[in-house]
Structure 1
Amino acid sequence: MNLIYNAYFKCCNFVEDFRKKEEGQALSEYAIVIGVVAVIIIATLVLFRGALTNMFTRIITYMNGVT
């Protein structure tokens, strides 16, 4: 009887450990996706830096003229 219980508990522990590893894997995958998105956003901002600067300068100039 103990042999059956031992096998059952070993199986349960194996499943629980496997589930925990999946959670860690999902967390690392989310971290990689967030990192890639951050790099894309930074690269886009650097690429369009001149256009964004001009746009915000025009907005500030317009707002100063309105007030």
Structure 2
Amino acid sequence: MTDYNLELKAQLVTIEDLREALIHSVRQGRSTQDPFVLKLSQDLDEELNKYYRMINNPKKASNF
């Protein structure tokens, strides 16, 4: 498996972990305005943006 594919798989794991943490926090009753929830949401957004940049520019994937 190429380094690029490994990077993509690692990025997807990070995204899924953040998504699950965000869902769990909200289901536990935390407000969507809670600083912890906001930070998780921001981190998820950043990781999703990184993933989209990776798939749109595979030659530069190792720069992210």
**Same fold by TM (over 0.5)?**
no
Larger Rg: 1
* Structure with the larger helix share: 1
TM-score (normalizing by structure 1): 0.42
TM-score (normalizing by structure 2): 0.44
Between 1 and 2, higher relative CO (CA 8 Å, sep ≥ 6) is seen in 2
